[in-house]
Amino acid sequence: MDTDIAALTVIFTEFYYWITVALMFLIHVGFCMYEVGASRVKNHMHTLMKNSMLIPLVTITWFLFGWWIYWAFAGGPGITGGIGHPAPEFAEAYTPWGESMGPRLDDRISGVFWAAFLLFSWTAASIVSGAVIERIRKFGFWMIAILIGSVTWSIDAAWGWSYSGWMVELLGYHDAYASGVIHAIAGGTALGVLVVLGPRLGKFAADGTPRDIRPHNPWLVCIGLFMIYTGFWGFYVACNVPILTTGFIDGQMTGATQTATTIYLTPTTLSAITVNFLMSLAGGMLAGYMVSRGDAFWTYSGGLAGIITASAGNDLYHPIQAFIIGGIGTFLMYKMHFWVERRFKVDDAVGAVAVHGYAGFWGVVIAGFVLWGHPSSPYEGFAAITPWGQFIGAVIMFWVLGFIPAWILAKILNGAGLLRIPKEVEILGLDFGSIQEANAASREVMATEQAHAS
């Protein structure tokens, strides 16, 4: 920071990421409102704590190994390079004992960049949390939260959401605002857990017909979704690098123009993603309202699914394209949710697999067609965007890094009796003991008051 312009650029970038972190906190406020609203009164506080405590657990594990994985696994390892490819000094610096992990005056960016990624990690884990409410053990869920929050999403980001990831280099994988790398993997993870965990008691009739377990507070659920929209702004903005000179991108581009870029260092603008965020939200809400016949929950979820579907290419789409793609994704995820529920008896309590998993998956695939041939990277030798590269990428996100590791871990936890709560506790409610204690105390207080009144 030896010139005024260099200092301003660094401080602007530092503050930019800091703002995204503060905004992304709202995603988690929204998830907590949404999940608690969707649960029954007998399970409120357990539901709240199950989600909230993923925050410290994913944070410490992200510090201990998640962040290092991101910097170490871009080449596979063993696909396009070894551990730390192509810059082993970064992987070394981001070990928990590394030189860039503590406060230092000559590095003002690493900390806020670490934090922005961490908030993505919370989001990935939090998506899974809603699907499994009212019957999962906290320990079991938190193991799964750490798996996705600090391991599998970190691997997928290294592979497909990095300027040097092997999926970008070989497949031309493009997923600028994380349709696949956050949402598809989270949906796949949720599905992998759900098939082992099983439905809530009473969710399906003896003949397999699904029953509606109504949210105790639909209003809270919808406001929670509204809050997630708000936090999503931080998520989007954090996916960009706010300002780079073309010289920084290893001289791959000519001239001295400054630009915002995606995580792949491909140029875009904050204006572009702002318009497309709103247009895909609009497409999703309109489609959600139509396909669900005006149901509030699915209309709000449709807005989210619209953004998620268009996110893979929202750095480049025309706003009308973002609008249409958002609508298509919402229609598909809604239909798939109810088909999977009926066909496979999967009890996804909040539609997380659909809104995040199916919409994210199709968003990655659709980008392959709409952006066919566009360069995925400024670097020479990287593959261009193609439908087949995106399809393979979507499968890797949803199935390979999402469903399969989660299914295996859920099986292990289930085998150890650490996945599902005891049946009696599920019937009485996870908060039964504390509610009884509170009621007893309340009765004693009233009895005392009555004694004083008489």
Partner 1 sequence: MSTTPVDTWAVDLADVTLIYPFVGAEVLMTIVGFALWIGWHIWQVKFESNTYKEDIEKHATSENLRKATSGEF
Based on the shown chain and the rule CB under 8 A, indicate whether residue 420 belongs to the binding site for partner 1.
Answer: no
Based on the shown chain and the rule CB under 8 A, indicate whether residue 101 belongs to the binding site for partner 1.
Answer: yes
Among 78, 96, 208, 415, binds partner 1 (CB under 8 A): 96
Least spacing, CB of residue 431 vs partner 1, in Å = 10
CA distance 280 to 325: 7
Question: Buried b / exposed e across 107-145, counting CB within 10 Å, b at 16+?
Answer: ebebbbbbbbbbbbbbbbbbbbbbbbbbbbbbebbbbbb
Based on the shown chain and the rule CB under 8 A, indicate whether residue 432 belongs to the binding site for partner 1.
Answer: yes
Least spacing, CB of residue 38 vs partner 1, in Å = 19
Among 10, 14, 29, 63, binds partner 1 (CB under 8 A): 63
User: Which is nearer to partner 1, 61 or 246 (by Cβ)?
Assistant: 61
State both tokens at 195: 């098939």
Based on the shown chain and the rule CB under 8 A, indicate whether residue 4 belongs to the binding site for partner 1.
Answer: no
Using CB under 8 A as the binding criterion, the count of chain residues that bind partner 1 stands at: 32
Based on the shown chain and the rule CB under 8 A, indicate whether residue 214 belongs to the binding site for partner 1.
Answer: no
Based on the shown chain and the rule CB under 8 A, indicate whether residue 436 belongs to the binding site for partner 1.
Answer: yes
Determine how many CB atoms are found less than 10 A away from the CB of residue 89: 12
User: Which is nearer to partner 1, 104 or 318 (by Cβ)?
Assistant: 104
Is 193 in contact with 144 (CB distance < 8 Å)? yes
Specify the DSSP element, H or E, that contains 258.
Answer: strand 258-261
User: Which is nearer to partner 1, 25 or 63 (by Cβ)?
Assistant: 63
The three-class DSSP label of residue 420 is strand
User: Which is nearer to partner 1, 139 or 339 (by Cβ)?
Assistant: 139
User: Which is nearer to partner 1, 29 or 53 (by Cβ)?
Assistant: 53
Residue 44: exposure state from Cβ atoms within 10 A (0-12, 13-18, ≥19)? buried
Determine how many CB atoms are found less than 10 A away from the CB of residue 392: 18
Is 375 in contact with 264 (CB distance < 8 Å)? no
29-37, 102-110, 244-252, 316-324 -> range binding partner 1 (CB under 8 A): 102-110
Residue list 123-162, contact with partner 1 (CB under 8 A): 137-139, 142
Based on the shown chain and the rule CB under 8 A, indicate whether residue 443 belongs to the binding site for partner 1.
Answer: no
Based on the shown chain and the rule CB under 8 A, indicate whether residue 42 belongs to the binding site for partner 1.
Answer: yes
Q: Which of 238, 142, 244 is nearest to 182 (CA)?
A: 238
Residue whose pair of structure tokens reads 């005006």 in the numeric block:
294
Which residues lie near partner 1 (CB under 8 A)? Answer: 2, 42, 57, 60-61, 63-64, 96-99, 101-106, 137-139, 142, 418, 421-422, 424-425, 427-429, 432-433, 436
